[in-house]
Amino acid sequence: MIRGVTREDVWKAVSENLRRDFGRMLDVRDVRRVRRVSGDAWIVTVALAAPSGDLHVADIAVDDAGTISPILNADHVVDAVRRAESFSLRPPPVDELADFGGEPASNDEDSALDMLTEVEEPLEQRVAAAMAKGDPVSLGLARELLPRMLGDHERRGTTLFTMAEVEVKLGEPGLARGYLEAATREFADRFDLPALEKAAAFALDLSGREAFAGSAIHALLDQTRARLAPLESVFHAKAFGGLSEDLRRQVARRLTLRTLAPEEMLVREGEPSSSLFVVKSGLLGVWLEKPSGGAWMVRSCFPGWLLGESSVLGGARARCTASLRAERVSEVWILPGVDVRAVMEEDIAFGQRIAETKQLHRIDSFFSMHETMGQLDVQVRDDVLSCIQRLESFDEETILLLADVVPEVACLVARGSIGLFNGEAKDPVGVVAPDSFYGVRDAIHRIAPSVTAIARPGTTVAFFDGARLQKLCERSPEHVVAVLERLG
């Protein structure tokens, strides 16, 4: 089992496995955490140590049950050697022939351009200088440069706000309103109320009172303010709302309240998970480690949010699957995991609510790191999560979607796989692997697929309501629809 273990534990376990099967021929070169629908997993890079340097053999996955995929054998080693030999036989780049009379790879003009690029001012400074000048040519330069700053996730809202300011100065209020709405969504995702109120004031001035009153920006402002209202009691949180009076007294006796300063860490990813948390007031940020290093905030949690389910559902060695940080002065109720388990044993419905919360948080973490879903703001991801009908596991082959029938649901494979079959053919024409979607576009556009989708034994699938996905697309901007269409 890797649940509750560290990166070093995985490194050691895989290294020992390789030693047993390959001696000292293969070794681990990197271990990185990945987010999956079924929970956290690890990707392990395995290399062959050769005199000429390491040869990449494979990236293997280790799931939460300790299962390694693929299982390495001699063929993987042979393939790695053949790839290296094939690469060594390729013609060298032109610049490597320069010493033998070939043309140089670059001329003086290119070198001068490279030097200019190296000393070029940072984008932020160039944009600020262009904005300060304020003439049409300078503003046009700012318009050109600003989209290049959108890759900075932390400052995306501020960049979009600046883009709106530029468009107003260039006489394009329609474009400005679009950028402004996108900026407010970013601010709302982070519950940055001061920035959101500043954007709302800008929108009010731009659109007028009557248009602003019915705008999406006004709605976002109201929703954000309402969500930040403190909870009077932990029993106002959804998960604790249905407890009996006896269980409420039991919970109240073990409950403690902790106040956090801005940027104070409640827990860190990878630490032992021992308590359940409920946000009473303020705002907690959920921070996930990036595969490339560092961390980024993927969601803000407002009063009423329940966090730390791993402490009661992750086993004795459970670890925190994310870091939790106070983004402003915040209060958090803390309940020891052992006491939560005691309540779960007496109230099955309460236990079910905790389990459902954990699964939703897993899928949300997967969405936030997904190359396609990660492009959507938190509100849209929440809307997609709300379309989930159920999670279901299959012990035997089961038909999920029939060929030539418009699907009522879309699928996300959590474990196992779905085979796609043409007619009576025994072999599938395609396989939907774990962490992959199937049928989203068909469900949205009411298209009947030409193949039958069959879940294989041991498969777990999250089903999304097709009608709700369709309605979500009808009320969403074009870029949201485009992202959902690309799923699977």
| pLDDT by 10s per residue, the chain, length 488 | 344 566 788 888 888 888 888 888 888 888 887 778 877 778 899 998 777 778 888 888 887 667 787 888 888 888 888 887 766 555 655 554 444 444 444 455 455 445 444 456 788 889 899 999 999 999 999 999 999 888 777 788 999 999 999 999 999 999 999 899 989 988 988 888 899 999 999 999 998 998 998 898 999 899 889 888 999 999 999 899 889 999 999 999 999 999 999 999 999 988 888 899 999 999 999 998 776 667 788 888 999 999 998 878 877 678 888 899 999 999 999 999 999 999 999 999 999 999 888 888 888 888 887 878 877 888 888 889 999 998 889 999 999 999 999 999 999 999 899 999 998 888 999 999 989 999 999 999 999 999 999 999 999 999 999 999 999 999 888 888 888 888 87
Task: Give just the sign of the alpha carbon dihedral 49, 55, 57, 58.
Answer: positive
Q: How many helices (H) and strands (E) does the chain have?
A: 18, 20
CA distance 229 to 214: 23
The residues, any chain, with a CB within 8 Å of residue 181's CB and separated by 6 or more, are 203, 215, 216, 217
The CA-based angle 334-336-341, given to 5 degrees, is 125
CA distance 398 to 122: 56
CA distance 170 to 164: 10
- Which pLDDT does position 120 carry in this prediction? 60
- Look up residue 288 and give its amino acid: L
Of how many residues is the chain composed? 488
CA distance 70 to 60: 6
Specify the DSSP class assigned to residue 201. H
Helix (H) or strand (E) holding 431: strand 430-432
Classify 101 as helix, strand or coil. coil
- Which pLDDT does position 406 carry in this prediction? 93
Helix (H) or strand (E) holding 472: helix 466-474
Do 170 and 208 meet the contact criterion of CB atoms below 8 Å apart?
A: no
Structure tokens at 211: 């248009």
Rounded to an integer, what is the distance from CA 340 to the centroid of its chain?
A: 28
* Other CB atoms within 10 A of residue 478 CB: 8
- Which pLDDT does position 168 carry in this prediction? 93
- CA terminus-to-terminus distance, the chain: 29
Helix (H) or strand (E) holding 14: helix 7-22
In 3D space, the residue among 112, 276, 279 whose CA is nearest the CA of residue 191 turns out to be: 279
Classify 122 as helix, strand or coil. coil
- For the chain, the 3-state helix, strand and coil shares in percent, each to the nearest 5, are 45, 25, 30
- Which pLDDT does position 100 carry in this prediction? 41
- Which pLDDT does position 359 carry in this prediction? 86
Structure tokens at 76: 């993987």
Alpha helix ranges (H) inside 278-347: 310-313, 337-346
